[in-house]
Amino acid sequence: MALRLCLNATWRWQIDDVIQDSTAFGPQRAPDPKQQLQHQMHGFEKAAASLRTTTSSLPPFSNLSESDLMSPAKGAVCVTGAGGFLGSWVAHLLLSRNYLVRGTVRDPLDEKYAHLKQLPNASSNLELVKADLLDYPSLVSAIQGCSGVFHVASPVPSSSVSNPQVDLIEPAVTGTLNVLKACVETKVKRVVYVSSAAAVFMNPSWPDSQPMDESCWSDAEYCRATENWYYLSKTEAEIKAMEYAKANGLDVVSVCPNLIIGPLLKPTVNASTMVLTKLLKEGKDLEENKHHRVVDVRDVAEALVLVYEKPEAQGRYICTAHSIHVKDVVDILKEKYPNYNYPRNFTDGEEKKEMSSEKLQRQGWSYRSLQETLVDAVESYKKAGVLD
Ligand SMILES: NC(=O)c1ccc[n+]([C@@H]2O[C@H](COP(=O)([O-])OP(=O)(O)OC[C@H]3O[C@@H](n4cnc5c(N)ncnc54)[C@H](OP(=O)(O)O)[C@@H]3O)[C@@H](O)[C@H]2O)c1
Question: Residue 208 belongs to a domain with what CATH number?
Answer: 3.40.50.720
Q: List, in sequence order, the alpha helices (H) in the chain.
A: 2-6, 12-24, 33-50, 66-70, 85-96, 122-125, 136-143, 164, 175-185, 220-225, 229-248, 271-281, 297-309, 326-336, 358-362, 370-384
Please check whether residue 388 lies inside any domain of the structure. Answer: no
Residue 74 has pLDDT above 90, yes or no: no
Do 272 and 156 meet the contact criterion of CB atoms below 8 Å apart? yes
**What's residue 252's pLDDT?**
98
Please check whether residue 210 lies inside any domain of the structure. Answer: yes
Please check whether residue 341 lies inside any domain of the structure. Answer: no
How many domains in the chain?
A: 1
- Annotated catalytic residue, options 117, 130, 189, 234: 234
Residue 4 has pLDDT above 90, yes or no: no
Residue 243 has pLDDT above 90, yes or no: yes
pTM, to two decimals:
0.86
Please check whether residue 257 lies inside any domain of the structure. Answer: yes
Please give the Cα distance from 235 to 96 (Å, whole number): 32
- Each residue's pLDDT tens digit, 137-174: 999 999 999 999 999 999 999 998 999 999 999 999 99
Please check whether residue 81 lies inside any domain of the structure. Answer: yes
Whether 234 is catalytic is yes
Please check whether residue 42 lies inside any domain of the structure. Answer: yes
CA atoms within 13 A on the CB side of 122: 27
Pocket lined around ligand 1, Cβ cut-off 6 Å? 81, 83-87, 105-106, 132-134, 152-156, 171, 175, 194, 196, 234, 257, 259-260, 270, 272
For residue 291, name the pLDDT band (cuts at 50, 70, 90). Answer: very high
Please give the Cα distance from 14 to 75 (Å, whole number): 8
Give me the sign of the Cα torsion angle 163, 169, 171, 174: negative
Please give the Cα distance from 185 to 22 (Å, whole number): 10
Q: How far is CA 333 from CA 33, 301, 338, 370, 378, in A?
A: 58, 24, 7, 10, 9
Q: What are phi and psi of 201, to 5 degrees?
A: -95, -5
Do 68 and 104 meet the contact criterion of CB atoms below 8 Å apart? no
Q: What is the domain range of residue 40?
A: 36-263+297-322+353-369
Ligand 1 atom with the smallest distance to the CA of 131 is 33
Please check whether residue 273 lies inside any domain of the structure. Answer: no
Please check whether residue 232 lies inside any domain of the structure. Answer: yes
Do 116 and 82 meet the contact criterion of CB atoms below 8 Å apart? yes
